[in-house]
Structure 1
Amino acid sequence: MNKKLFLLLLTVCAFQFSFAQKNLLTDFPKGYTPEEVGKRLAYRFLEGKHMLHGGKWISYPETFNWNGALQFAAKTNDKELVKLLQDRFEPLFSTEKALLPIKNHVDLNMFGSLPLTLYQITKEKRYYELGMPYADTQWEVPEQAKPAQKDWSKKGYSWQTRLWIDDMYMITIVQTQAFKVTRELKYLDRAAKEMVLYLDELQRPNGLFYHAPDVPFYWGRGNGWMAAGMTELLRCLPKDHQDRPRIMQGYQTMMKSLKNYQMPGGMWNQLIDEKDYWAETSGSAMFTYAFITGVKHGWLDAKEYAPAARKAWMALVSYINDKGDVTEVCVGTNKKNDKQYYYDRPRHVGDYHGQAPYLWCTSALLEKDTK
């Protein structure tokens, strides 16, 4: 075989292998396609009741489920679904206005990401005007703030900083959405500075994250918030941003560890490094979202991560019941320095903590490669 023919065959084989890796995230059997799964879960959301924070305000899990349904509707150009999701929101301008979250906690301010998503889709100014104060007040210190909160602010961080890994999606999502609608880099700079702090303080040598400095356990969904938060931020950060290399390093280190801890069936456990713990869906879906997006954007090697992402997605879909509800979802979880506490957390069916990241996965699977 001459040299030119050999090189040609080598190129063809490389192309075919690359094409096969891409197909892993595009070709799915009936019932597993992102279009089918996304439609089931998005329309299921329309049937559900409000999930309230403290019985008073729209909760962050509902916000993220709503956002996920909107993103899916936009990706599939489902105008009927967009209209229905808008109709669900409409009472928040009038009869349900009391359900709008106040702006005094990281879990409440993130609500602003929802009207900002609606603004991007509809261009209706009232969504912008409702959403932006939630992003801005994360950095506007109230008079009643505690001394520790004021100290964080003096260092350029959000006064809502508390060093729980959950925060890195709550803060990141509203700040990146504010950037998308204003194109003002200050919102990205804020989120990136905050992310670097959490990486430096909470990421362990194995790439995973303690729930908090005083809770040395690798809780699944908590790590999922970090994985999804870094993913969202990297999607927005300019390539020449000063904090991008540090965040990319943290992201890729985490993804490598997650691939090693993925269970043979494709899922991740309630405590990631505990093989005898139960498989948990919400965290697994967040990791899958981070894998899919990383492959599509070229941050992760498709040869290594596309098979892992596909295996995870196929496993996740099997946890959706006939009603369109995700099973095996860990309930909302405060932090506690007690390993057994995490194992014993109740498991819900149809909990928005789980429904939301499934919808994020459908949008990521529908996204074209950008690398």
Structure 2
Amino acid sequence: MKKSYRFICLLFAATFFATSAATAQGYFENFPVKADPKTVANKLSKRFLESKHQLYFDKGIHYAEVCTWYGALRFAELTNNQELIKQLRIRFELLFHLEKDLLPPPIHVDQNMFGCLPLRLYSITKDERYRDLGLPYADTQWTLPANANEEERKWDKKGHSWQTRLWIDDMYMITIVQSEAYKVTGDVKYMNRAANEMVLYLDELQHPNGLFYHAPDVPYYWGRGDGWMAVGMTELLFNLPQNDPNRARIMKGYLLMMNNLKKYVNKDGLWNQLIDEPSFWTETSGSAMFAYAMIVGVNNGWLSKDEFAPIARRAWLSLCNYIDDDNNLTEVCIGTGKKNSKQYYMDRPRIAGDFHGQAPILWCAYALLNQ
């Protein structure tokens, strides 16, 4: 009897330590079926292909759709899913003829970011049409229009994009198209633009707690707005050359944000609509952006694996619980302009399947697969 008991104890100890070791080495592996990144991304990509276009005030395809399209494309590229790449290209081909009117005009920061999509398609296919379509979106961010106003001229004179407005959303919209232009051309001017712009926003907008107000005149830490900063810094650091003079400053801002975000994780393992307000509701799109920033940070050694990987894993598992049977992420705050009212953010409608939420879930999925 004693021998049997001793054997059971030894077996339990061996199992415990083996499990602990596996957990320490593979936080981003061994997910339950519902949270398997490849399965989730396949379902959300299919859901995207079934969806209609979302338009930006009837002036071209909305940036949130572009972000989702881009995420599905990145996933297809990573997994060498040629059929998915083909279907995503078929959707895009219509923009060269039948749906040409849906191409966003390069007149606003949200519309210019469309360029990241054809540039990514060029990187995959080497089809020059994509390059020719995408590069002007990157270039016109630094080409002052003839009808520019005084504020736009001010930023242009300082070497920044005339589309600078110091809204935190911009730091994904500007940096992603400039980064893709750099990868396509190898011209460092694109990375210099993106890095200089990011440093401006960090210097002007980041607070000592690592977070960002929605805008300088709106003193609230809105989840998805801060999410744009998190993913903007993440994408930029991933693409920025190691010897870039702005890299250390951007890394400092990124680490300050990540280290403070972990203090605001809510009971769901996610983050609230206003990050620092415990009474607010769980908002999933911003949460997915924070999770993505942490996953990429762990994978690239910017963040401590044992400190941040459990937070990111828990966030991913929780986010998957918010995906409904139609493969729509729920509890997504609708598109939100700035307003100096806390109640305004509390009362924002929540919807399922909005591209603002579908996109970062896809980003998380391919980041988890890209180890």
Short-chain TM bin: over 0.9
Rounded to whole Å, the distance in 1 between the matches of 2:108 and 2:25 is: 41
1:286 and 2:281 aligned: no
Match of 2:333 in 1: 330
Please give the alpha-carbon distance, in whole angstroms, between the structure 2 residues aligned to 1:259 and 1:15.
28
Report matched runs for 1:19-58 at 5 Å.
Answer: 20-58=23-61
| 1:253-311 Cα shifts (integer Å, max 9, x gaps) | 00011111011321100000001101001000000000000000000001100000000
Instruction: Please give the per-residue CA displacement for 1:94-147, whole angstroms capped at 9, x wherever unaligned.
Output: 010000000110000000001011111111110000000000000000010111
Which residue of structure 1 aligns with residue 299 of structure 2?
Answer: 296
Q: Is the 8 A contact 1:21 1:306 kept in 2?
A: no
Q: Which residue type is aligned with residue 58 of structure 2?
A: G
Contact 1:22 1:306 in 2 (8 A): no
- The amino acid across from 2:282 in the alignment is A
Aligned to 1:99, which of 85, 102, 126?
102
Specify the code of the residue in structure 2 equivalent to 1:289: Y
Correspondence for 2:7: none
Structure 1 pair 253–18 and aligned structure 2 pair: CA distance change class (3 A):
farther
**Matched residue, 2:265:** 262
Kindly provide the amino acid, as one letter, of the partner of residue 348 in structure 2: R
- SS of the equivalent of 1:52 reads coil
Paired letter, 2:146: E
Residue 223 of structure 1 corresponds to 226
**Unaligned 5+ runs, structure 1:** 1-13
Rounded to whole Å, the distance in 1 between the matches of 2:267 and 2:317 is: 12
Aligned to 2:3: none
Instruction: Report the AA paired with residue 200 of structure 1.
Output: D
Q: Which residue of 2 aligns with 1:198?
A: 201
* Structure 2 partner of 1:9: none
Tell me, in whole angstroms, the C-alpha distance in 1 between the residues paired with 2:272 and 2:159: 36
Question: Equivalent residues in 2 for 1:65-76 (5 A)?
Answer: 65-76=68-79
Name the CA distance, whole Å, in 1 between partners of 2:296 and 2:109: 25
TM-score (norm 2): 0.94
Sequence identity, in percent? 60
Cα deviations by residue, 1:34-57 (Å, 9 ceiling, x for unpaired): 111000101100000000000231
What does residue range 1-371 of structure 1 map to in structure 2 within 5 Å? 20-368=23-371
1:289–1:357 CA contact under 8 A, matched in 2: yes
Deviates more, 1:261-270 or 1:224-233: 261-270
Match of 1:6 in 2: none
Instruction: Give the Cα–Cα distance (whole angstroms) in 2 for the partners of residues 18 and 107 of structure 1.
Output: 45
Could you report, residue by residue, the CA deviation over 1:160-194 in whole angstroms, capped at 9, with x for unpaired residues?
00000000000010000001101111101100000
Aligned partner letter, 1:234: L
Q: Is the 8 A contact 2:59 2:105 kept in 1?
A: no
C-alpha change, 1:22 and 1:149, in structure 2 (3 Å) is farther
Name stretches of at least 5 consecutive residues in structure 2 with no aligned partner: 1-16
Write the distance in 1 (CA, Å) between the matches of 2:222 and 2:232: 16
Q: CA deviation at 1:19?
A: 5.5
Q: Which amino acid aligns with 2:26?
A: N
Q: Is the 8 A contact 1:21 1:307 kept in 2?
A: no
The count of corresponding residues between Structure 1 and Structure 2 is 356
Partner residue of 1:8?
A: none
**1:3 aligns to what?**
none
Give the AA of the match of 2:326: K
